[in-house]
Amino acid sequence: MSSAAEQSDTTPAPWHIRKMTVADVNGVMEIEHRAYPFPWSEGIFRDCLRVGYGCWIVERNDEILGYGIMMAGAGEAHILNLCVKPESRGQGLGRMMLEHLINQSRRIRAQTVFLEVRPSNQTAVKLYLSAGFNELGVRKGYYPADGGREDALILARHL
């Protein structure tokens, strides 16, 4: 039988969210390249940080497990990227980051949060719909895809 002290040594530390820094970009890029066939460039992440977008990391034990990028202005927030490391999916990290971005939107008094998502990414679509987002429309040919382009669903949540 193990003691309580031994059990606590094997219990993973809780996840937490913090602001992304330039030092995080390499770790973010590793996840981005593994998660997407058409990843953002390092320059895009650096530019998001440089211009002051809301850039957040979810981590545990100094390991980046996911990230979210959001821009805001004129009473609106726009989630630009929300990604979880492939092997860390299914643990609630995407929902946790989404809730964080929504809370940040409320904090800056945004009235609506927008995002685009690939219709083929049914896991993400289900997450967003379950979080109160509604479909507003479609952007034709928005995303690069193998053999052409893929549409984007435009989703919004009023706060």
Catalytic residues: 116, 128
Sign of the four-CA dihedral 57, 45, 83, 71: positive
Kindly calculate the radius of gyration of the chain based on its CA atoms and give it in whole angstroms.
17
Question: Taking the CB of residue 102, how many other CB atoms lie within 10 A of it?
Answer: 20
H or E element at residue 127 = helix 122-130
Torsion over CA: 126, 90, 79, 41 (sign):
negative
Q: What is the DSSP letter of 15?
A: P
* Beta carbons of 101 and 70 less than 8 angstroms apart: yes
d(CA 19, CA 35): 21
Identify whether the C-beta of residue 140 lies closer than 8 Å to the C-beta of residue 154: no
